[in-house]
């Protein structure tokens, strides 16, 4: 259902008023604990070796096609890259720690952080083969969303990717994001033009999406072989209905 329009004193339609809105806080550089993983701000001394070894399991380099950096031919080149990740405050990069092994197996970030408007983007998602298609990989996304919406009170959470990056677009849909359109010739990276696909979740949608994630992540949702009983997309859809 569409909200009834609001009008100003000139009888012009305007957005709904937010009389109690105040700017939000910057995301803290603190860990976030989950059932299957823990997110920690990237620390090059603690995480770089694990991450380089995890990424090296996909030696052909195709995982870096749509990323701003990589692939990395040796540890020194990745160490220099990870040093930049650790020093950055926006993007604020997090290492994903697999709680079963204690190893860092991927990274993702909060970026384009806009506390005044309560908007933040998840980006620089670099999952190694040890994290892809795992419960920890899905939970990592949920933990950052939960921080943005529940802990910090942000209003809008964005996902953007190369419009040609089909796996990223499928992931956004699976996680409950709404597709908003294509920004043509938005950026230049790696010597080529990029059209950018935009997706978002807003705060009014978050309670249902959160329930879907929690149901999917529950141990009861997995059989003895570790296969999920209900898909995340189906659980989110059911929670919204």
State pLDDT tens for residues 23-40: 999 999 999 999 999 999
Q: How many Cβ atoms sit within 10 Å of the Cβ of residue 85?
A: 24
Q: Does residue 59 register a pLDDT over 90?
A: no
Q: Over range 156-173, report the average pLDDT.
A: 98
Q: Over range 141-151, report the average pLDDT.
A: 98
Considering the chain, what percentage of its residues have pLDDT values greater than 90?
A: 97
Tens of pLDDT along 1-31? 457 889 999 999 999 999 999 999 999 999 9
Q: Would you give the distance in Å from CA 177 to the centre of its chain? A: 10
Phi, psi at 140, each rounded to 5°: -60, -40
Statement: the pTM of the whole predicted model exceeds 0.85: yes
| pLDDT value, residue 2 | 55
Mapping DSSP onto H, E and C, the string for 78-91 reads HHHHHHHHHHCCCC
Bridge partners for 122 per DSSP: 110, 159
């Amino acid at each position: 259902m569409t909200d009834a329009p609001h009008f100003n004193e000139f009888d012009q339609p305007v957005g709904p008023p937010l009389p109690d809105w105040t700017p939000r806080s910057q995301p803290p550089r603190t860990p976030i604990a989950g059932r299957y993983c823990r997110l920690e701000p990237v620390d090059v001394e603690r995480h770089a070796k694990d991450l380089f070894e995890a990424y090296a399991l996909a030696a052909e380099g195709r995982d870096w096609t749509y990323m701003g950096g990589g692939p990395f031919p040796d540890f020194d080149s990745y160490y220099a890259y990870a040093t930049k990740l650790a020093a950055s405050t926006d993007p604020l990069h997090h290492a994903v720690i697999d709680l079963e092994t204690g190893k860092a197996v991927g990274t993702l970030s909060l970026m384009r952080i806009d506390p005044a408007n309560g908007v933040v983007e998840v980006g620089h998602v670099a999952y190694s083969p040890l994290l892809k298609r795992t419960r920890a990989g899905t939970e990592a996304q949920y933990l950052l969303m939960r921080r943005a919406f529940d802990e910090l009170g942000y209003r809008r959470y964005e996902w953007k990717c190369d419009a040609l990056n089909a796996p990223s677009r499928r992931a956004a849909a699976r996680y409950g994001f709404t597709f908003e359109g294509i920004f043509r010739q938005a950026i230049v990276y790696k010597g080529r033009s990029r059209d950018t696909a935009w997706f978002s979740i807003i705060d009014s949608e978050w309670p249902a999406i959160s329930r879907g994630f929690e149901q999917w992540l529950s141990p009861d949702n997995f059989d003895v072989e570790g296969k999920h009983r209900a898909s995340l997309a189906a659980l989110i859809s059911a929670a919204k209905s």
